[in-house]
Amino acid sequence: MLVLSRQRDETIMIGDEIEITVVDIRGDKVRLGITAPTRIAVHRKEVYEAIKRENEQAARLAGADVTSIPQVAPGPARTRIRASASRLAAAVEGVEEPGASMKVTRPAAKRA
């Protein structure tokens, strides 16, 4: 593990495309700003691990008979919800929780 010391407003480069900037330091909390291409996923570790678990579960389900899963017809009283781990993670990342050490936001995805 490489350990670097940085002060507020100082930046670390990872390769040519990823910048990590120390935005703020308050007590024992450090706020980081991350600039990376949109093709590179940036997640807090706990979100990354949740996505990984969901993907592993989905892979196990892929071999099962998915026709037994009930389908709910869309209508005014019922809304069909399709949530993937990545969409859930994106929603969670856009919300800063009290005591969270980092906030990552992405532009909203365009709907077709």
Q: Does residue 105 contact residue 94 with C-beta atoms inside 8 Å?
A: yes
- Residues sharing a CB contact under 8 Å with residue 44, sequence separation 6 or more, in sequence order: 93, 100, 102, 104
Does one domain contain both 24 and 54? no
Which pTM was predicted? 0.52
**Which residue from 28, 27, 33, 26 is spatially nearest to 9, judged by alpha carbons?**
33
Structural domain that includes position 51: 43-62+83-95
Does one domain contain both 22 and 34? yes
**H and E: helices and strands count for the chain:** 2, 3
Average pLDDT of 81-97? Answer: 51
37-85 pLDDT, tens digit per residue, is: 999 999 999 999 999 999 888 887 766 655 566 666 555 544 444 445 5
Does one domain contain both 34 and 13? yes
Alpha-carbon distance of 12 to 2, in angstroms, equals 12
Does one domain contain both 14 and 31? yes
Q: What phi-psi label fits residue 27: left (phi over 0), alpha (psi between -120 and 50 degrees) or beta?
A: left
Does one domain contain both 27 and 47? no
Q: What is the mean pLDDT of the chain?
A: 75
Number of residues that this document lists for the chain = 112
